[in-house]
Structures are given as C-alpha cells and as structure tokens.
C-alpha cells in the first residue's frame, strides 16, 4: 500500500534540520562551520530524518523503494542553453534537449514528492530557475514540489541579505514559469512548497515556510523588516526572555507555554533556561526537552541518552503528530492543558525512576 506523507510530517524534517544547523553553528562557530558545510550536508540530514520517520512506520525506505536520491527528471535539459535574458531562447535550446536532470530526492508516496535543496550560501537567480524547470517538468499538478534552502552565510541577517534571498527566488521562479509557459495564476494549482530560512546570530529567520501560491505575494513581514519584531526577538548575541517568547506566540501558545513552565518548575531541580527561539526544560541543569511556541522536542543531555527512547515514547503517547522526536502542536492540543500536565508528570516520573536506578547501581 502506498503511504501518504502529510505536510506536517515532511515539515518536521525541515524543522529538525534547521534546528540542527543553527545549533551546530553556535557550537562550532560560523567561520569553522562555513569551511566544512556544503549542500550535501542537507541531503544527508534529510535522508537521516526520513529514514528514522519511515522506520517508525515499519517501512524500509530502501527495500520498499520509498526514497530515491538523485532521481531522474522526466524532461531533458541542456543547462548551457539557459539565458536569463531570453525566455524564448531558453525554451528552444535548454528544454527538451540534452540529458535528464536529477532531483535531489524523489519520495514515492501518494502523491509523490520531488525535493530540491540549495545552500549554504545565497542561491543565484539561475540556481532557482534551473530548480524550478526541473520541478515543473513533473506534469502532474498533484505531485508535491519542494524547494528548500537554509542560508548560513550571514552573521547579521541584514536587510540586503533578506532582500537578495527573496528577489533571487522570485526572479528565478518567474523566469521558469515564462519558459515553460505556465501562467502565474496557475501557480496555486502546482503544489509548490517553499522552505527558505537564514541563520544569523540573533536567531533563525524563516523567509518563507510552507505552500507558495502567488508569484506576487511578498515573503513574511518579519523577513522583509525584522526591526518591526525586535520586541519579540533577542538582541544580537543574546537570548529571548520568557516575556519575549510569549509576545511572539499566539494567545493559545502563550497560555500553553505558561502552563508548561508552571508545571515543570514545581520541583526545585526542574528548571528552564531560555534560548534564542524557546526554552530548554532541564533537570539538575541538564537538557531534557526543548519547548517552542509550536512544537516540543525531545533533546536530552548525554547523561540521559539511555532513557531517550522512553522519553520519545511518552511524547508520542501524548501528541499524535509526533515525527522522529518532535511534536507539532495543533490548536486542539494547545487547548488540552490536562494532556500537557500528564506529559510533564510522565517525563518527570521517567527521569526520577532513572535517577533512583543510577543511585542503586552506584551503591552496588
């Protein structure tokens, strides 16, 4: 039976990769990270999270032929024939001549998913144009077409950097639509999803995150003018305050976050420490759970790795939309504060029981 991958599920892969990239930059330092990072890093990360996800669904992505790296495109191309100044010339000399291109990944779900990655540096207009020509060579509108880019080259996330990310993407997409003679008003039917983020020091900026339906709709207000949201973002090099986290959340999310903090801190050894996007719930000053406005993620300290599976099992038991080790919080779940309290109590019980076992082992 063909499996259907939901938007919230594939988005959890991108969320996890983005979080990993941002944390790695902070751990390694940006200069050192930029020396070793390349686009293949994203490919390996995606394969890893996809493998973990499907394994939990009792699906072997290799033997059951679900994930295809470097899958061939239906159309043939000659990239040397691309001329950004001449759509007609490109249509005549670049499309329908040469050899088949390759998607970074093809996922044989229902509907199928074609995925292309860019980064870690800002892509060019031609990069985007080539990607879109490949993605739109899929004739079926229902095929999900994903463009993902995580840009790690900017330390400041200055306005010119954000404008380049948006302008180059929009120009490349517009060019590809004109070459393939796809009217802009047909874009909403093409099932295009765009996940573009940049990782300056003062926190991740999601330039666009989700379905892309309108060529003329600008990226998010935060991306275009981050200064408008300074009250809800940490200062460069700093962290969010709890109040800033609440301000950047919806009313439902804010109530949920407040309840989590209150329930977690009932015992003195259970504390929270703020980060750049959310907070870490700790026990004895060791990470256990990361809490964000829209998700909860199991990320235990290395001292707790031996109970990692139990923690993830508890997360899945309380939150149906858990993928790998991240629970996406729907509005109906945000309203269920009783379920949140039950989850926290369960996590604390697992930790306290583990601590007792460690004490006994030490005494023996």
pLDDT, position 232: 47
Q: What is the dihedral of CA 229, 232, 236, 241, to 10 degrees?
A: 170
- Among 48-57, 93-102, 134-143, 209-218, name the most confident range: 93-102
Task: Say if CB 262 and CB 255 are below 8 A apart.
Answer: no
pLDDT tens for each residue of 146-197: 999 999 988 887 778 888 999 999 999 999 999 999 998 888 889 999 999 9
Q: Which two tokens stand for residue 308?
A: 């990692």
Name the residue among 105, 209, 200, 196 with its Cα closest to residue 158.
200
Least confident of 26-40, 167-181, 275-289, 323-337: 323-337
Q: Which residue has the tokens 């292309």?
A: 116
Please state, in angstroms and rounded to a whole number, the distance separating the CA atoms of residues 55 and 46.
14
Please state, in angstroms and rounded to a whole number, the distance separating the CA atoms of residues 22 and 15.
11
Task: Say if CB 114 and CB 132 are below 8 A apart.
Answer: no
* pTM for this prediction: 0.62
Q: Which residue has the tokens 């004109």?
A: 178
CA end-to-end span of the chain: 52
- Long-range Cβ pairs for the range 17-23 (8 Å, 24+): 17/42, 17/45, 17/46, 17/49, 17/150, 18/150, 18/197, 18/199, 18/204, 19/297, 20/45, 21/45, 21/150, 21/152, 21/199, 22/199, 22/204, 22/276
User: β-pairing, 99-107 with 67-77?
Assistant: antiparallel
Q: Which two tokens stand for residue 340?
A: 């949140």
Question: Domain map of the chain by residue range?
Answer: 7-232, 242-353
Instruction: Tell me what the mean pLDDT of segment 47-53 comes to.
Output: 89
**DSSP assignments along 223-272, one per residue:** HH-GGGGGGGSPPTT----HHHHHHTS-HHHHHHHHHHHHHHTTSTTEEE
Please state, in angstroms and rounded to a whole number, the distance separating the CA atoms of residues 273 and 290.
10
pLDDT tens for each residue of 274-294: 887 789 999 888 888 999 888
Q: Enumerate residues 6+ apart whose C-beta is below 8 A from 81.
A: 89, 90, 92, 93, 94, 95, 97, 98
Q: Enumerate residues 6+ apart whose C-beta is below 8 A from 174.
A: 184, 215
């Amino acid at each position: 039976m063909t499996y259907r991958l939901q938007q919230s599920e594939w988005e959890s892969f991108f969320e996890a990769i983005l979080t990993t990239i941002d944390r790695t930059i902070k751990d390694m330092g940006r200069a050192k990270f930029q020396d070793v990072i390349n686009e293949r890093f994203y490919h390996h990360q995606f394969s890893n999270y996809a493998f973990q996800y499907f394994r939990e669904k009792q699906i072997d992505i290799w033997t059951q032929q679900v994930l295809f790296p470097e899958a061939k495109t239906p159309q043939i191309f000659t990239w040397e024939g691309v001329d950004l100044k001449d759509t007609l010339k490109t249509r005549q000399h670049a499309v329908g001549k040469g050899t088949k291109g390759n998607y970074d990944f093809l996922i044989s779900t229902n509907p199928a998913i074609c995925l292309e990655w860019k980064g870690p540096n800002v892509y060019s207009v031609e990069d985007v144009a080539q990607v879109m020509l490949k993605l739109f060579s899929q004739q079926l509108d229902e095929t999900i077409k994903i463009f993902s880019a995580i840009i790690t080259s900017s330390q400041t996330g200055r306005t010119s950097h954000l404008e380049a990310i948006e302008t180059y993407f929009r120009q490349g997409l517009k060019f590809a639509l004109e070459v393939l003679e796809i009217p802009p008003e047909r874009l909403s039917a093409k099932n295009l999803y765009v996940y573009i983020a940049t990782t300056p020091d003062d926190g991740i900026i999601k330039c666009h995150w989700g379905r892309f339906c309108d060529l003329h709709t600008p990226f998010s207000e935060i991306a275009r003018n981050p200064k408008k949201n300074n009250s809800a973002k940490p200062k460069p090099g700093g962290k969010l305050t709890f109040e800033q986290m609440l301000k950047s959340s919806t009313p439902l999310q804010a109530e949920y976050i407040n309840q989590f903090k209150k329930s977690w801190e009932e015992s003195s050894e259970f504390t929270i420490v703020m980060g750049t996007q959310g907070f870490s719930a700790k026990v004895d000053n060791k990470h256990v759970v990361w809490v964000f406005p829209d998700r909860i993620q199991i990320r235990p300290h290395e001292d707790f790795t031996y109970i990692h599976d139990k923690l993830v099992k508890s997360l899945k038991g309380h939150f149906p939309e858990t993928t790998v080790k991240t629970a996406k919080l729907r509005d109906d779940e945000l309203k269920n504060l009783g379920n949140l309290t039950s989850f926290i109590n369960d996590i604390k019980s697992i930790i306290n029981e583990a601590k007792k076992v460690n004490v006994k082992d030490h005494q023996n």
